[in-house]
Each structure stands twice: as structure tokens, then as C-alpha cells.
Amino acid sequence: MTTYADSSALLAVYVTEAFSDQARRHIAALAQVPFTALHDLEVRNALHALQGRRLITRRELLALVAQLEADVEANRLAWTPLEFTAVFAEARALAETHTAKLLCRSLDLLHVAAARALGCRRLISGDDRQLKLARALRFVTVDIRKRRGPSRTSTR
């Protein structure tokens, strides 16, 4: 697996949002998507927050969680363990190098550090700061908010 989809892209697959069509198209094109404990926490938490905001019902929440679990069980979302001590150390190093310029948030750093730990070189996201960080690290990026293909970082 060489493509990492962050939680914003995964959530857009399960819950219809403005960028869901793009997220679904890009993720459906992948044989497997790495799914880590970070994804699991963030996606489930976002689903519970939607219920708390009364944007989905309890029944819809349970159906979405069941679909998420079915995708993990079917290995469409490939459960992928991470060594979080190393991921946090990498995220801290990325913060020292990039946050002052890019204003990265902790989760941006953690997702990009996780992608690097998994050997991914392509990142799908709908998060500006995360995409900027990934481009600074020469990832191929896919912004689900745009209708064009992946952007490539210049190698000059």
C-alpha cells in the first residue's frame, strides 16, 4: 500500500459531504487503504460528534459504524498497526521543521508521520495544512476538495 487516506477523506466516504464524490472515487480506485488506530479513533469520534450535533440519528450512527467495521472485516480498510512511539517522535521532528511555516496542527503531523512510517508516498486529504506538509515532504497529494488529479511536487 502506497497511498494513505487521512480521516477527513475516509469520513467523506461514509458520510455524504461536499467532497464525498471525490473522496469515494479516489479511495475506490485503491485495492486497499491502510487503516490505523488513529483512523479508527478519528472516524468513530467524528461519527459520534455528528450524532451529538443531531446531524445523524442513533440508528444512522450504528449503521455507519457497522459499515466501517464491515470494510475492515472485508479488508477494504486494511488494519495496519503502527509503532506510535516512533510516529510521535517523527511528528515532533516534523513540527520542529515545518509548523512555524505551515501552522500544522498535531493531527496533521501525526497523519503525515503515520503515512511515512507505513512507507506511503501518496496522501489523500481534504485538509490544507496536512496537504501542504505532505507536499513539503514530496508526497503526491490528492485534495478531495478539488476536481483535478493528484498534484506532484517539483523535483527540481
- Does the pLDDT at position 150 exceed 60? no
* Domain span at 103: 3-143
Q: At 148, is the pLDDT very low, low, confident or very high (cuts 50, 70, 90)?
A: low
Helices 128-136 and 106-117: crossing angle in degrees, nearest 10, is 40
Cβ 129 vs Cβ 108: under 8 Å: yes
Give the residue carrying C-alpha cell 505532505.
134
- Total number of domains in the chain: 1
Query: Which pLDDT tens digit goes with each residue over 72-90?
Result: 999 999 999 999 999 999 9
Residue 148 is assigned to a structural domain of this protein: no
Query: Which pLDDT tens digit goes with each residue over 104-114?
Result: 999 999 999 99
3-state secondary structure of 23: helix
Residue 154 is assigned to a structural domain of this protein: no
CA-nearest of 155, 133, 152, 154 to 141 is 152
Q: At 153, is the pLDDT very low, low, confident or very high (cuts 50, 70, 90)?
A: very low
Residue 152 is assigned to a structural domain of this protein: no
Residue 80 is assigned to a structural domain of this protein: yes
Residue 153 is assigned to a structural domain of this protein: no
Instruction: Return the CATH number at 74.
Output: 3.40.50.1010
Grid cell locating 133: 506538509
Residue 155 is assigned to a structural domain of this protein: no
- Does the pLDDT at position 53 exceed 70? yes
Alpha helices in 29-96 (DSSP H): 37-52, 58-73, 84-94
Residue 111 is assigned to a structural domain of this protein: yes
Residue 89 is assigned to a structural domain of this protein: yes
